[in-house]
């Protein structure tokens, strides 16, 4: 039995090693594409224009080309207008056929496939004061409420000032981790909790999911443990599983910030939310990160859970019951709509924080982020009050 377990552990470690190596190769390709992709796309477009002007692509097509645009001696691919929409080249390339190469297509997909996020202030954006229109006191020192359908900022309070995101950091942690899983079967893979993993949270006095040293837990448990109780042990374990260690994982987090267009105003030094002068963001940026996370199916599963019990282990034969305190308590508040996803945070420098997503009775989506309320309950009151007043649901 021991020998069998040893073989299974060796196989798991080998599989994990190969997955990290694959992730690192993918990371190098992405970095090269982001660095050289835009200028390369520009050069390709200029060359295409020159060749078009010279008549190269206006020559009669040989008779061996079929109606679907496929040639007998080589493949071609029709580039649709919407494929280039974000690069403003669709109008020119519409209905044109270009030689298919895997490198070119991968580069173009990398350039054009990312959804952009953003919201703007309007003449109707309200600058929040210390009291809401309802007469309720507003406690948070930084806040933003965004209508995701119109991409407009409904209300804000110092929404672009630098803040420490505390454990709202973990929204990006689960998003990056989810994007680096090969498939949902990876959720059943396991990781053995090490002393380095538990010690990080202990040294920084962080909240914990409750995993013990040498306990073997599933990746699914790590995701839920990162979100619901905001466990540092779970977050560092998740980072270790994905990238080998927290430092390498933080690189992936900052790359994601760059991809989202937030790297000038946000920068993370850890995956937990521990205070650091170089670990910073804004409530606006956190709202964009939450929106990106809500667009990810796996992240929605974890950010929407109210209660979860971890897998049974030798250390915890009944599992560990985890709870999202914010979601369980805001559902009792009169906020008009329904708050579906949320992640809280706290460090002394930022007070009580939270990022939440709500759906109104009209089916519209809203994101609210607040920082520096003086208690968890008052943070909840600020979210429910903002949703009630400004979403009209």
- Mean local confidence (pLDDT), 26-52: 56
- Mean local confidence (pLDDT), 189-204: 96
As a whole number, the mean pLDDT across the chain is: 82
CA distance 168 to 342: 9
> What pTM was estimated for this model as a whole?
0.76
pLDDT at site 116: 76
- Mean local confidence (pLDDT), 1-26: 60
- pLDDT band for position 262 (cuts 50, 70, 90): very high
- Mean local confidence (pLDDT), 149-156: 95
pLDDT at site 327: 96
- Reply yes or no on whether the pLDDT at 187 is more than 50: yes
- Reply yes or no on whether the pLDDT at 183 is more than 70: yes
Determine which of 42-56, 289-303, 334-348 has the lowest per-residue pLDDT on average. Answer: 42-56
Q: What angle (nearest 5°) sits at the alpha carbon of residue 132, between those of residues 127 and 134? A: 145
Q: 180: closest CA among 73, 274, 90, 252? A: 252
10 Å CB burial of residue 2 (0-12, 13-18, 19+) is exposed
Largest CA distance in the chain: 77
pLDDT at site 93: 38
pLDDT at site 288: 98
- Reply yes or no on whether the pLDDT at 134 is more than 50: yes
- pLDDT band for position 13 (cuts 50, 70, 90): low
- pLDDT band for position 151 (cuts 50, 70, 90): very high
* Cβ-contact 274, 156 below 8 angstroms: no
* Cβ-contact 339, 358 below 8 angstroms: yes
pLDDT at site 23: 59
- Reply yes or no on whether the pLDDT at 22 is more than 50: yes
pLDDT at site 252: 98
- Mean local confidence (pLDDT), 338-361: 95
226-239 pLDDT, tens digit each: 999 999 999 999 99
- Mean local confidence (pLDDT), 48-55: 59
- Reply yes or no on whether the pLDDT at 76 is more than 50: no
Comparison of pLDDT for 71 and 217, the residue scoring more: 217
Q: 262: closest CA among 290, 230, 289, 228? A: 289
pLDDT at site 337: 82
User: What is the number of other CB atoms lying within 10 angstroms of the CB of residue 148?
Assistant: 17
- Reply yes or no on whether the pLDDT at 94 is more than 90: no
CA distance 353 to 285: 14
Q: 352: closest CA among 376, 329, 368? A: 376
- Reply yes or no on whether the pLDDT at 310 is more than 50: yes
- Reply yes or no on whether the pLDDT at 59 is more than 90: no
Q: What percent of the chain has pLDDT over 90?
A: 64
Q: What angle (nearest 5°) sits at the alpha carbon of residue 222, between those of residues 218 and 226? A: 170
- pLDDT band for position 75 (cuts 50, 70, 90): very low
């Amino acid at each position: 039995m021991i020998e069998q377990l040893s073989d299974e552990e060796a196989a798991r470690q080998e599989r994990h090693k190969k997955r990290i190596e694959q992730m690192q190769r993918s990371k190098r390709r992405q970095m090269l594409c982001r660095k050289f992709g835009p200028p390369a796309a520009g050069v390709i477009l200029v060359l295409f224009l020159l060749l078009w002007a010279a008549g190269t692509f206006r020559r009669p097509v040989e008779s061996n080309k079929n109606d679907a645009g496929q040639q007998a001696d080589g493949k071609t691919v029709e580039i649709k207008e919407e494929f280039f929409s974000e690069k403003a080249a669709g109008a020119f390339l519409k209905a044109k056929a270009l030689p298919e190469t895997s490198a070119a297509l991968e580069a173009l997909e990398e350039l054009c496939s990312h959804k952009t996020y953003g919201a703007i202030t309007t003449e109707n954006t309200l600058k929040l004061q210390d009291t809401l229109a309802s007469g309720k006191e507003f406690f948070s020192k930084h806040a933003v409420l965004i209508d995701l359908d119109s991409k407009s900022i409904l209300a804000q309070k110092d929404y672009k000032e630098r803040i420490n995101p505390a454990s709202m950091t973990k929204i990006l942690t689960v998003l990056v981790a989810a994007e680096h899983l090969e498939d949902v079967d990876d959720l059943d893979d396991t990781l053995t909790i090490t002393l380095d993993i538990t010690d990080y949270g202990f040294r920084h006095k962080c909240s914990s999911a409750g995993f013990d040293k040498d306990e073997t837990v599933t990746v699914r448990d790590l995701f839920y443990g990162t979100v619901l109780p905001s466990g540092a042990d779970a977050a560092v374990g998740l980072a270790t599983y994905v990238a080998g260690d927290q430092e390498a994982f933080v690189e992936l987090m900052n790359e994601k910030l760059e991809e989202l267009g937030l790297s000038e105003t946000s920068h993370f030094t850890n995956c937990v939310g521990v205070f650091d002068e170089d670990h910073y963001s804004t409530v606006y940026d956190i709202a964009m990160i939450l929106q990106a996370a809500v667009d990810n199916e796996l992240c929605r599963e974890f950010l929407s859970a109210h209660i979860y019990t971890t897998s049974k282990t030798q250390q915890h034969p009944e599992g560990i019951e985890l709870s999202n305190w914010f979601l369980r308590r805001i559902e009792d508040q009169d906020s008009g709509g329904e708050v579906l996803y949320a992640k809280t945070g706290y460090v002394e420098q930022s007070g009580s924080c939270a990022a939440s997503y709500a759906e109104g009775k009209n089916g519209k989506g809203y994101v609210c982020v607040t920082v520096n309320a003086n208690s968890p309950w008052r943070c909840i009151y600020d979210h429910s009050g903002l949703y009630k007043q400004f979403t009209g649901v």
